[in-house]
Amino acid sequence: MAVALPHVQRRTRLPHPVAVQNISVLGILRKNIGKDLSTISMPISLNEPINLLQRLCEELEYTELLDKAATLSSSMDRLMYVAAFAISGYAATQYRIGRKPFNPLMSETYECIRPDRGFRFLAEKVSHYPNVMACFAESSTFTYRQTYLGKTKFWGKSLELITEGQSHIAIKGHQDQYTYSRPSSWLRNLVTGTKYLEHIGEMKVQNHATGEYAVITFKEAATGSTSFFSSNNNNAMHRNNVVAKFFDCRGSLIRQVEGKWSDSLSEVVGPDQYAVIWRCKPPGIPDYTDYYGLTSFAMELNEITSLEQGKLPTTDTRCRPDQRLFEQGQVQEAEDEKVRIEQFQRERRKQFESIAKPWKPLWFELVKDEYAPTGESWQYKGGYWESRETGQWPRDMLQLW
């Protein structure tokens, strides 16, 4: 990707701090125990001013780990940094508890061009039922794509966030092809106590070119007298622990990385000896909790800079009126727009059904994928950046709002 773009001065705060505090959604949740909440319309006051397509881009905050991997001659070293990147995608979630991103409309898109980080990114909602998003990013050192299917279920005291689909990374200059899928996340103590988020389970990062792989274990918080449920102020030390074990193609353990997905990761280089390979960046501003707990990178995602001005398609998330109003603190106006937009989408879907015309996304297509568990994945088919350059967008682009 050879693109010469100017430096952009980006904002450090949202236009308006959190407009609605102390939100209770238990009434809605209790009526839907065990159901997929992603299919249920929620009050806009439960949202954060970020879209799920933008959340997918937020997972790329630490692409310098992939840049580092591209410089390494050892395939095991490259695997270690790719695994660290996979873990780093969770880092920003520690600051955001109890709010949900906006759910994209069908055919909604989001682009992100970051000359300072060396990549460009495109995402699109490719299926409404089930709720599926696809994204693609590229730089001079890597390509990244993800098929994302998210579900949310309430189990009485906890909210389970289920992520299906797969991420795929190719490191340029090498033959490496990496894949991984994500474990479930849990929002705890919804009824009583202090809410907290934890990611639990295993993630396997596989290098299909070499047969090497990493098994990453996201550990559940300790229980007992030093658990989350006690009043011990030292409980933070028992949270967010992660261990990554690295194996060669014969299944022999080669190395180990330990740390916290919310803080840092270190390679174990000897008895009680560690070498730090990644550190989480601080939120960026002291009063970040007044701005939905967004990090500096997240606050930049919905901004329209000189890079986007006059260049965006009408389907881009930045053009979405309800999310823009909510970001500006106009909650009731945003709620009214959300209701209107959702009704407009329902009418549009009925129109497609009435003429038996299948709805198709513009920029991604479902194709065979030898690395995907299902044998297929949503992949970028090209054309977006060329249309952006000329300003000639497809005539069948939908009006979303």
Residue 234 domain-assigned (yes or no): no
Predicted local confidence at residue 4, as pLDDT: 54
pLDDT for 14-64, tens place per residue? 999 998 766 666 666 666 666 666 666 778 988 999 999 999 999 999 999
- Residue 225 domain flag: no
**For position 103, what pLDDT does the model report?**
94
Token reading at 378: 């949503």
Q: Please report whether residue 231 resides in a domain.
A: no
Residue 333 lies in domain: 9-220+239-400
Burial classification of residue 53, based on how many CB atoms lie within 10 Å of its CB (0-12 exposed, 13-18 middle, 19 or more buried): buried
* Residue 152: alpha-carbon gap to chain centroid: 15
Whether 4 is in a domain gets the answer: no
CB 217 within 8 A of CB 259: no
Question: Does 227 fall in a domain?
Answer: no
pLDDT value, residue 43? 84
Nearest to 139 by CA among 114, 111, 158: 114
Handedness of CA 220, 221, 222, 224 (dihedral sign): negative
Residues with Cβ within 8 Å of residue 273, at least 6 apart in sequence? none
Is 351 contained in some domain?
yes
Give the CB-side neighbour count of residue 324, counting CA atoms within 13 A: 9
Q: Once rounded to an integer, what is the mean pLDDT over residues 142-153?
A: 93
List, in sequence order, every residue forming a beta bridge with 197; answer none if it has no partner.
187
Nearest Cα to Cα of residue 78 among 174, 157, 167, 155: 174
Residue range 209-261, pLDDT digits in tens: 999 999 999 999 865 433 333 334 346 678 899 999 999 999 999 999 999 99
Tally of domains within the chain: 1
355, two tokens? 């003429």
Q: Which residue has the tokens 């979630």?
A: 93
175-219 pLDDT tens trace: 999 999 999 999 888 777 788 899 999 999 999 999 999 999 999
Between CA 218 and CA 59 the distance in angstroms is 17
Kindly report the CATH number assigned to the domain that includes residue 94.
Answer: 2.40.160.120
Residue-wise pLDDT tens digits, 281-325: 999 899 999 999 999 999 999 999 999 999 999 999 999 999 999
Residue 355 binned pLDDT confidence (cut-offs 50, 70, 90):
confident
Inside any domain, residue 3: no
Task: Fill in the DSSP letter of residue 219.
Answer: P
User: Which residues pair with residue 185 across a beta bridge?
Assistant: 161, 199
CA distance 397 to 274: 52
Contact 55, 177 (CB under 8 A): no
Q: Report residue 69 as tokens.
A: 């991997």
DSSP structure string for 123-147: EEEEETTTTEEEEEEEESSEEEEEE
- Asked if 246 contacts 256 with a C-beta cutoff of 8 angstroms, the reply is yes
Q: For position 306, what pLDDT does the model report?
A: 95
Residue 332 in 3-state DSSP? helix
Cα–Cα distance between 181 and 165 in angstroms, integer? 6
Predicted model pTM = 0.92
In a domain, 373, yes or no: yes
Amino acid at 165: G
